[in-house]
Structure 1
Amino acid sequence: MSTIDIHPGYLELRPFAFYDAEGRIHGTGIQGWKASEENCPKGQSVLFVDADRMLDYVDLTGEPTVKKRPSFDGAFNPPSVPVETESVLAGLPACSIRFTGPETGSHAHEGGDLVVGFTSPGVYTITCEPFPYLPATFTLTVTA
């Protein structure tokens, strides 16, 4: 009978998180740490911690650390405006904006104050994911 040498890193199970250069977590699980290192996607790094892909991110300001994604607590000011009048969502990080309502579309936001105005009255739902914040949804009422 022959014996097979298996690296202990394949047998020692650890939770892992694959993350990118922004700290966004792309995959999680539990497997041998050696397998996690070998299977880490190109352009990503691995951190041996328990993490939730949707609710956590990797803070890269020092030693990589998993943290909970905070909520973005902004609100449109004012929350209701007449047509062709602007409302401001202050301090929104760069992200893709989607809006639905009487007018529908999307917009690449470069970060900073988001200033919007619509030409059709109605209730608009604005959604975004201003990473590392959680996805957010806002409502803006536009009156005639």
Structure 2
Amino acid sequence: MAFQPGQRITASRLNRLQPRPFRTVATATLTGPQTNVDVPGAALNIVTAAANARYTAVLIADIDLTGASTALASARLSVDGALASEHAVFGAEVATDRGSVAQTYEGVLGAAGAHTLKVVATLAANQMANLYTSLLVTVLEDA
């Protein structure tokens, strides 16, 4: 919402115009096989003051193989329980393979109030999401 000429501007409206960054890192590994399971500690609880706050997110998934595997490992963002369609995907075959894969997201948090953004992973046997898995979210609310 734009400010109108002569309108009184409050601190709370100005504060909502500032981008607010939030960051979290996994607190434990998640070992496969798993399908769309929360990565421990890789969750953010964010409270917005206004409806339709916009967010951008960067997800980095640190995937490690504990044995040979030809299956793809993936991680993606969950926003208030809804899974994003874009995945950060890792594919390898050798037991010693490891990589950090990324994906970016943007969207709108429709209602004002509490929201949960988290990393969920799908892993085959011999795959795990490591402690270096992280999520960075920036929220911008309109005044």
Name the TM-score, length of structure 2 as normaliser: 0.32
Bigger strand share: 2
Rg (Cα) greater in structure: 1
Flag the structure with more relative contact order, 1 or 2, with Cα contacts below 8 A and sequence separation at least 6: 2
The normalised TM-score by structure 1 is 0.32
